[in-house]
Structure 1
Amino acid sequence: MPHSCLSDVHAKLNVLITGKSPVIHTLMPLLHDLGHAVSITRSPRETLFTYASQQSDLIIMAEQDDTCQTFSSIREVNEDAEALFIIDTSKPESFEPLFDFPNISFLPSTVSKEKLLTFIKNFQAQHLRKKKHEEDAKLYGLIMQSLPFPALLISTKTEQTILANKAAHNQLPAFEYEQAPPFMSALSDEVRHNIFSDLESYHLHYLKSVNAYERFWDLTVDQVAPSVFMLLAVDVTEQRQQMQLREEMERIARHDLRSPTANIVGMSRILETEAGLDEEFQPLAEIVRKTSERMIRQIDTSLTLIRLETGSLKADAHPFNLYTAISAAIGDLSQLVEEKNLEIVSLQGREPITEECFIVCYGEASLIITMFSNLLKNAAEAAPEHSTITINITEDSRFITTKIHNMGEIPVSIRETFFDRYATYGKKKGTGLGTYSARLIASASGGDISFTTSEEKGTTLITTIPKPPIK
Structure 2
Amino acid sequence: MSLALAYRVKLLREQAASAETERRRLAEENARSESARDELARKNALLAMILDDQRFGIGMVRGERFSFANRRLAQQLDRDDLNGLTLAEVPQARPLLDGIAQAAADHEAETEAVIEDSGRSRTLRTVSRRLDPARPERGTVFLVEDVSEAKRLEQLKNDINQVMRHDLKSPLATVASALEALELAGPLNVQQRGLIAMLERAVAAMTARINLSLHLYRLESGTLGLTPQPLSLATLLADAREELAPYLTAGREWRIAYEAPAETFIVLGERAMFTAMLVNLLKNALEAADEAGSVVVTVADPPSPRLVIDNPGEAPPHIRARLFEKHVTAGKARGTGLGAYSARLIARAFGGDVVADTTIPGRTVVTVTLRAPQDA
Q: TM-score, normalised by structure 1?
A: 0.51
Name the CA shift for 1:234/1:431 in 2 (closer, same or farther; >3 Å).
closer
Name the CA shift for 1:207/1:457 in 2 (closer, same or farther; >3 Å).
closer
Give the counterpart letter for 1:343 in structure 2: E
Alpha-carbon contact 1:250-1:306 (below 8 Å) kept: no
Name the CA shift for 1:169/1:150 in 2 (closer, same or farther; >3 Å).
same
Give the counterpart letter for 1:247 in structure 2: N
Residue aligning to 1:452: 357
- How far, CA to CA, are the matches of 1:390 and 1:219 in structure 2? 45
Tell me which of 309, 312, 326 is aligned to 1:404: 309
Residue 260 of structure 1 pairs with residue 182 of structure 2: no
Name the CA shift for 1:152/1:297 in 2 (closer, same or farther; >3 Å).
same
Residue aligning to 1:166: 69
Alpha-carbon contact 1:209-1:236 (below 8 Å) kept: no
- How far, CA to CA, are the matches of 2:292 and 2:316 in structure 1? 21
- How far, CA to CA, are the matches of 2:183 and 2:220 in structure 1? 38
Name the CA shift for 1:445/1:289 in 2 (closer, same or farther; >3 Å).
same
**Residue 320 of structure 1, CA deviation:** 2.0
**Residue 438 of structure 1, CA deviation:** 0.7
Name the CA shift for 1:265/1:391 in 2 (closer, same or farther; >3 Å).
farther
- How far, CA to CA, are the matches of 1:456 and 1:464 in structure 2? 23
Name the CA shift for 1:417/1:268 in 2 (closer, same or farther; >3 Å).
same
Tell me which of 334, 344, 364 is aligned to 2:254: 344
**Residue 310 of structure 1, CA deviation:** 2.6
**Residue 174 of structure 1, CA deviation:** 3.4
DSSP-derived class of the 2:267 partner: strand
Alpha-carbon contact 2:125-2:147 (below 8 Å) kept: no
- How far, CA to CA, are the matches of 1:389 and 1:219 in structure 2? 44
Alpha-carbon contact 2:162-2:214 (below 8 Å) kept: no
Q: Which of the two has greater helix per residue?
A: 2
Give the counterpart letter for 1:365 in structure 2: R
Q: Deviations over 1:405-447 (max 9, x none)?
A: 2223323232222212222222222222111111111121211
Residue aligning to 1:433: 338
Give the counterpart letter for 1:403 in structure 2: V
Residue 468 of structure 1 pairs with residue 352 of structure 2: no
Give the counterpart letter for 1:305 in structure 2: L
**Residue 372 of structure 1, CA deviation:** 0.6
Q: Deviations over 1:159-202 (max 9, x none)?
A: xx975962541424335899x96668xxxxxxxxxxxxxxxxxx
Residue aligning to 1:324: 235
Q: How does 1:45-194 map to 2 (within 5 A)?
A: 166=69, 168-174=73-79
Q: How does 1:305-316 map to 2 (within 5 A)?
A: 305-316=216-227
- How far, CA to CA, are the matches of 1:297 and 1:169 in structure 2? 50
Give the counterpart letter for 2:275 in structure 1: I
**Residue 215 of structure 1, CA deviation:** 5.0
Q: Deviations over 1:377-432 (max 9, x none)?
A: 111222233843222111254x2100122223323232222212222222222222
- How far, CA to CA, are the matches of 2:194 and 2:174 in structure 1? 19
**Residue 462 of structure 1, CA deviation:** 0.8
Give the counterpart letter for 1:166 in structure 2: A
Alpha-carbon contact 2:265-2:302 (below 8 Å) kept: no
Give the counterpart letter for 1:389 in structure 2: V
Residue 415 of structure 1 pairs with residue 326 of structure 2: no
Residue aligning to 2:101: none
Give the counterpart letter for 1:248 in structure 2: D
- How far, CA to CA, are the matches of 1:286 and 1:254 in structure 2? 24
Tell me which of 281, 292, 299 is aligned to 2:192: 281
DSSP-derived class of the 2:305 partner: strand
Structure 1 or 2, whichever has the larger Rg, is: 1
Of structures 1 and 2, the one with the larger relative CO (CA 8 A, separation 6+) is: 2
Q: Deviations over 1:199-221 (max 9, x none)?
A: xxxxxxx996444255523699x
DSSP-derived class of the 2:189 partner: coil
RMSD in angstroms over aligned alpha carbons? Answer: 3.9
Alpha-carbon contact 1:183-1:212 (below 8 Å) kept: no
Give the counterpart letter for 1:282 in structure 2: R
Alpha-carbon contact 1:448-1:463 (below 8 Å) kept: yes
Residue aligning to 1:134: none
Residue aligning to 1:295: 206
Residue 247 of structure 1 pairs with residue 153 of structure 2: no
Name the CA shift for 1:208/1:365 in 2 (closer, same or farther; >3 Å).
farther
**Residue 313 of structure 1, CA deviation:** 3.0
**Residue 280 of structure 1, CA deviation:** 2.5
Q: Percent identity?
A: 29
Which sections of structure 2, spanning at least 5 residues, go unmatched? 1-55, 93-110, 127-142
**Residue 457 of structure 1, CA deviation:** 5.7
Give the counterpart letter for 1:252 in structure 2: V
- How far, CA to CA, are the matches of 1:286 and 1:292 in structure 2? 10
Alpha-carbon contact 2:258-2:298 (below 8 Å) kept: yes
Q: How does 1:189-228 map to 2 (within 5 A)?
A: 209-212=114-117, 215-217=121-123
Q: TM-score, normalised by structure 2?
A: 0.63
Residue aligning to 1:384: 290
**Residue 346 of structure 1, CA deviation:** 2.0
Q: Deviations over 1:3-58 (max 9, x none)?
A: xxxxxxxxxxxxxxxxxxxxxxxxxxxxxxxxxxxxxxxxxxxxxxxxxxxxxxxx
Q: Deviations over 1:91-132 (max 9, x none)?
A: xxxxxxxxxxxxxxxxxxxxxxxxxxxxxxxxxxxxxxxxxx
Give the counterpart letter for 1:263 in structure 2: T
DSSP-derived class of the 1:319 partner: strand
Which sections of structure 1, spanning at least 5 residues, go unmatched? 1-147, 154-160, 185-205, 221-231
- How far, CA to CA, are the matches of 2:338 and 2:161 in structure 1? 16
